[in-house]
Amino acid sequence: MKSIVYHNIKPYDKKYKYNNYLNPKIFERQIHLLKKNYNFFDCQILFNKNFKYDQNNIFLTFDDSLKNHYEFAYPILKRNRINAIFYIPSLPYINKKILNVHKIHLILSKYKSNTVHNFLTNYIKEKKITINTKVKYLKNIYQNQNIQNTSQKIKILLNYSIDKKLRNCVINATFNKFFPDFNEKRFIKDYYLSEHEIEKMSRYMIIGSHTYSHKLLDELSTEDAENEIDKGIRFVEKFTDLKTFSYPFGFIGSFNKLHKYILKKKKITFSVSVTNKKITERNWILDKQDIPRIDCNYINFQRNHLKKIV
């Protein structure tokens, strides 16, 4: 069985010309290729104790509660009679704040990575901020991608290398530099799904939790990690009785056995990571709090051909 994770499904936007995205037309073409090779099914049966594993089954997931999921992915899925799982972080709804991970995406979508990197280098030197040059997650981050790429270096720097106590400060300083007149309230309305849209989608799709603020769980204390998980779950309960969870970042090492125990204790049926592996029958039966997904960028889609997935 396989699961694929998607993020941005949208047309080209010249305002954010460096953005990583998937054009809706290409996304629909991928759907048609997947339908030829795999069996889509009603994702609700994943929550059924009598669910029967089939290696040819496939289901799609979408992280981060992006507005373009409703505008572009949702209609395509409905048109193809496919229901998928949409994982929602709750901070934008509870506190009307942008996730740090999206501040970084916004900066790198609008400005050349070299320009951003030069600012960061000077800012870090000026503020005398210590950088961890041996990130323990490095081998698991951005699998099969060129981490020498300047954009990836910036993501590693802001997401992992800077001490977590200073990380918010550095991200905010960088964001304010490149977006000095930013209207956060208007942005949240335009960038994230509205609660009405989530409710509407929940009638056909599955809604899951993606924590509260998309923090790296492995860096948090037990109390803070449980709070992150709990605040995410409670928000999603407004829309569904089904319980599924997506780990922020999702690579090996970004979460641990403690987090899986917390999720099991909270009666989460299954939780998904991003480890670019297929779901084995043993995995589904014995470790439902670590169900692997394949990043859509990891799959070799061609116009009329789909290379076998992992």
pTM, entire model:
0.96
pLDDT value for 261: 97
The last residue of a domain, from among 166, 185, 204: 185
Based on the domain organization, do 213 and 290 belong to the same domain?
yes
CB count within 10 Å of CB 146 equals 8
- From 308, 109, 86, 283, select the one nearest 203 (Cα to Cα): 86
pLDDT value of residue 308? 66
Instruction: Determine the structural domain holding residue 215 and report its residue range.
Output: 2-96+195-306
As a dihedral over the C-alpha atoms of residue 79, residue 82, residue 87, residue 88, rounded to 10 degrees, the angle is: 30
In this structure, the number of other CB atoms found within 10 A of the CB of residue 70 comes to 20
Domain CATH number, residue 254: 3.20.20.370
* Shared domain check, 234 and 203: yes
Which are the contacts of 55, defined by CB distance < 8 A and separation ≥ 6?
Answer: 1, 278, 281
Nearest to 262 by CA among 294, 231, 293: 231
- Choosing from 185, 210, 242, the residue where a domain stops is 185
Contact assessment for residue 46 and residue 269, using Cβ atoms and an 8 Å cutoff = yes
pLDDT at 300 (0 to 100) = 83
Whether residues 133 and 263 fall in one domain: no
What pLDDT does residue 140 have? 80
Q: What is the pLDDT along the chain (310 residues), one digit of tens a residue?
A: 999 999 999 999 999 999 999 999 999 999 999 999 999 999 999 999 889 999 999 999 999 999 999 999 999 999 999 999 999 999 999 999 999 999 999 999 999 999 999 999 999 999 999 998 888 877 787 665 555 689 999 999 999 999 999 999 999 999 999 999 999 999 999 999 999 999 999 999 999 999 999 999 999 999 999 999 999 999 999 999 999 999 999 999 999 999 999 999 999 999 999 999 999 999 999 999 999 999 998 888 876 667 667 6
- Asked, for residue 190, whether it belongs to a domain, the answer is no
- Say how many CA atoms lie within 13 Å of 251 toward its Cβ: 12
Last residue of a domain, one of 151, 185, 219: 185
CA 300 to CA 223: how far, in whole Å?
A: 41
User: How many folded domains does the chain comprise?
Assistant: 2
Question: What confidence score (pLDDT) does residue 148 get?
Answer: 66
What is the predicted pLDDT for the residue at 303?
63
